[in-house]
Structures are given as structure tokens and as C-alpha cells.
Amino acid sequence: MDRPRISVMFDLDGTLVDSDQDLADAANMARKAFGLPLLERAEVIRHVGYGLGYLIKNTVPEAYQDRLDEARAHFMAYYGEHLLDNTRPLPLADAILHKLQGRAALVTNKPGAFVQKILSGLGWTDLFGAVIAGDTMKNGARKPSGLPLLEALNRLGTPNSGIMVGDTEADLNAARDAKLPFWCVPWGRAAKDADVILRDLLEVEERLRG
């Protein structure tokens, strides 16, 4: 009997690409527009995973919370031009995507326009059977909701048969909400609660094959 087909959903930032510096630079450009001191990269990156709104809200002081739209505009203007300055594939990301071509989806909270620009720049545009960005769902759902994951599986033709591979609590909680396994990259912040902590990204294909 043939084994059931299992699809794999990948997060983007921190899972497939190291985008830390470009995200930190964009957040700091928003702060700079308000005359605020720059944040250390680690302080910015700990807020990555729940979407751009969350990132902006948590990197702008309380006194500027009524200017979040302005901060977001500064972020987007800078990031849109500089999102590939330092962003590079993480180890073995390119290899696993080519191995899983056609059975992999991208599920990220990053705005779709940025996602497409990154995928194009890295030569990954044709490697995903489905791409669900932070503004894809008509109902506004994004991780940690499981709905984007279920939508990705439907688009891949494998409803309720998939694995989420990510690095943050948003990825973990989305998988739990969708009642799907969560496999964490070894450097991920959500590793301690994962169903599987991967040795590296190629282990995804090895486990599916085994």
C-alpha cells in the first residue's frame, strides 16, 4: 500500500532565511525617523514571528504608540528597498526546497509583497506549491492561528496531512491550533516544545522518506 502523501509547510524568517539584519535595520529606520536611539539587533529579532504589526508595536516606545501607522510606513519604505541586502538562505534551505519541490508550502506572517520579492531574489519562486503570507487570508488569519496552515494544505491537495517546520512560538502555536506536528529547526526559539528538533533542514526529507 502506498504511504499517504504528507506536505511540509515552512516558515520563512529564521527557518529558511537569515533576515535578522535587514529586519533590524528597517525597525531602526522607523525609530530613527522619530529621533529614537537604535536598538540592538537581538532586541528587534525577539519580536519577529507574529507579523509586522507586532514587530512595530514592540519596537516603538509607549509614548509613540499613537504613531504606529507612521512607524509602519517608515519600516515598509526602507525594508522594501533593502530586504535582500543581508538576507541569505540558512544552511541546507536551498537543498531541502529542491528536494521537496511540489510538496512544500510557505506559511509566513510577512506581507506578501515582501515575500515575493525575497523568493524572486533567492530564485525560490517556483519551489513552493502554495504561499500563504501575512495578508493572504481573506479573514485576516495569520499565525498563531492554524487557519493559514490548513489553507496551505488545501492548496497542496493534502488537507489535514502536513507538518509545520519553523522556529518561533507563533509557528508552534499555529501547528497546535491546526492539530499538526511541529518540527523545529535546531536554532529555533520554540525547540523545547517541538515534536521534533531537527538536526538540520535535510532531516525533514529523511524523516518523510523513513
- Catalytic residue list: 11
**Which DSSP state fits 3?**
P
Joined together, the cell numbers standing for residue 63 give: 509614548
Here the contacts of 65-68 (C-beta below 8 Å, separation 24 or greater) are 67/34
Question: For the chain, what is the largest distance between any 2 Cα atoms, rounded to a whole number of angstroms?
Answer: 65
Strand partners, 9: 105, 164
Count other Cβ atoms within 10 Å, centred on residue 1: 3
Cβ–Cβ under 8 Å, residues 163 and 9:
yes
